[in-house]
């Protein structure tokens, strides 16, 4: 057996996994009957449909050709997600100013081309912009500085 359409194969598997997962979780809730549908019935129905569709997609990927999955690049994904998580931590404990600076400075490394000086400048601009627009102009309740 040979996978001839890798993109479809893997997406099919994801659909099956998600569908089965939702059905399994839904089965913990009351199903009820068609007249009085419980909280579990609709998700179980849709989850079943999703799993079935996923199975068809995966099965078809074994018979018809399709494009290969482009190689995963670790750099954008890792730095992108890391910067967002750091932003969350920083916003909670250190306030918006530091959080935005961290987000820009770490996030910028998601690109292959990094110019530290320009990124510093960008960070300053974005901090000023966030504070000026989001906090002062729009009045969003964001802590600016570390809360001791």
Partner 1 sequence: METLGNLAFGLGVAVGWQNLVYCFVGCFLGTLVGVLPGIGPVATVAMLLPFTFGLGPAPALIMLAGIYYGAQYGGSTTAILVNIPGESSSVVTTLDGYQMARRGRAGPALGIAAIGSFVAGCIATLIIAYFAPPLAEVALKFSPAEYFSLMVFGLVAAVVLARGSLLKAIAMVCLGILLGIIGTDVNSGVIRFAFGQTELADGIGFVALAMAFFGIADVLINLEHSEKQEVFTSRIGSVLPTRDDLRVCAWSIARGTAIGSLLGILPGGGALLASFAAYMLEKKVAKPPRAFGEGDIRGVAAPESANNAGAQTSFIPMLTLGIPSNPTMALMIGAMMIQGIAPGPQVMTERPELFWGLIASMWVGNLMLLILNLPLVGLWIKLLAVPYRLLFPAIFVFCCIGVYAVDGKIFDVYEIAVLSAFAYLLLKLDCEPAPLILGFILGPLMEENLRRSMMIAFGDPTVFVTRPISAVFLFAAAALLIAIALPALRAKREQAMAE
- For residue 88, how many C-alpha atoms fall within 13 Å in the half-sphere facing its CB? 5
Answer yes or no whether residue 124 interacts with partner 1 by CB under 8 A.
no
Near partner 1 in 21-80, by CB under 8 A: 22, 25-26, 29-30, 33-39, 42-43, 46-47, 49-50, 53-54, 56-57, 60, 67, 69-70, 72-73, 75-77, 80
Binding test (CB under 8 A) with partner 1, winner from 68, 138, 147, 148: 138
Cα end-to-end distance, the chain, whole Å: 62
H-helix or E-strand spanning residue 143: none
Q: What whole-number distance in Å separates Cα of residue 14 and Cα of residue 20?
A: 10
Closest to partner 1 by CB, 2 or 28: 28
Nearest to 51 by CA among 16, 21, 10, 11: 16
The token pair that represents 64 in the structure block: 């018809």
Binding test (CB under 8 A) with partner 1, winner from 31, 128, 140, 144: 140
Encoded one letter per residue, x for contact with partner 1 by CB under 8 A and - for no contact, window 1-30 reads: ------xx-xx--xx--xx--x--xx--xx
Q: How far is the CB of 17 from partner 1 (least distance, A)?
A: 11
Nearest to 44 by CA among 16, 11, 20: 20
Nearest to 30 by CA among 43, 47, 19, 16: 43
Q: How far is the CB of 4 from partner 1 (least distance, A)?
A: 14
Encoded one letter per residue, x for contact with partner 1 by CB under 8 A and - for no contact, window 104-123 reads: x--xx-xxxxxx--xx--xx
Q: How far is the CB of 63 from partner 1 (least distance, A)?
A: 14
């Amino acid at each position: 057996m040979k996978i001839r359409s890798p993109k479809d194969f893997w997406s099919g598997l994801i659909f099956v996994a998600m569908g089965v997962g939702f059905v399994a979780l839904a089965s913990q809730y009351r199903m009820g009957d068609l007249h009085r549908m419980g909280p579990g019935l609709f998700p179980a129905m849709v989850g079943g449909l999703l799993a079935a569709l996923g199975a068809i997609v995966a099965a078809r990927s074994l018979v018809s050709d399709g494009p290969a999955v482009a190689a995963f690049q670790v750099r954008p994904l890792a730095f992108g997600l890391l910067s967002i998580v750091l932003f969350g931590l920083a916003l909670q404990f250190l306030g918006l100013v530091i959080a935005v600076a961290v987000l820009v400075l770490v996030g910028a490394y998601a690109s292959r081309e990094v110019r530290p000086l320009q990124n510093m400048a960008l960070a300053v601009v974005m901090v000023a912009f966030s504070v000026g627009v989001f906090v002062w102009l729009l009045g969003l309740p964001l802590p600016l500085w570390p809360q001791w």
